[in-house]
Amino acid sequence: MSTIEKLYTLDKKPKINEINLKLLIEYWIKYLQPFEIQYTLDDVESNVISLRFPAENFAHLLGIETIAKRGGVKYQDLKSYRGQEAYNSILANTLTFDSLKSLNSTIFKSVKDKFIYFYQLPHLVVAAKEIINFTKVPGSYIECELLIYNAMHDVYVHLGLEKESSGQFYIPRTFLIERNLGTKYLDAQTEDKKRNILNINKVTL
């Protein structure tokens, strides 16, 4: 995959050897980070929810620190695999797929779908039809306040959201893929937890 523009217009998932971390972060920088997505809901209490994409959330969303933890990286060194430090290392091309595979190739494979389906994220945030007040799925480690999702290219793509520290807007917390249109994360959500999205406004920051 030679350019982020080609990644944006894909109509099927890329192969893992067609993408790399630097390409994905450049994709984030162009198609997500400059924007605030504003969701108008059919809900009196919180009529508009705003979503932003800070630089320091990129690595967490892709599970990079998880690979490092389970790859035996010492606690004091984990800071290199999260937040702004990881973001800078990816941009400098010093944190790569190969370096993550060298830590733990099995865990890398277990989160590989996050990398492969990352191209769908800018499309998901402007295509979601409802926001769910998320209830944790029994047996799952996934936690978030809100969840948006959509069926795209034969998978369910989910983005979990939480409020950032000031409480003024939401940020991405978790990125989930269910192949074969699996609904594990949706089946546990009751109707009273769902709020329809009436309008989506994409604003440049």
Reading the block at residue 172, the tokens are 């991405």
Q: 1 and 18 in contact (C-beta within 8 Å)? A: yes
Strands (E), 117-191: 130-133, 146-152, 155-163, 170-179
Tens-place pLDDT, residues 93-109? 999 999 999 999 999 99
Strand 146-152 to 48-52 pairing: unpaired
Tens-place pLDDT, residues 153-204? 889 999 999 999 888 999 999 998 988 867 777 777 777 788 899 999 999 9
Distance CA 155, CA 149 (A): 10
Is the confidence at residue 44, as pLDDT, over 70? no
Percentage of the chain beyond pLDDT 70 is: 94
pTM: 0.92
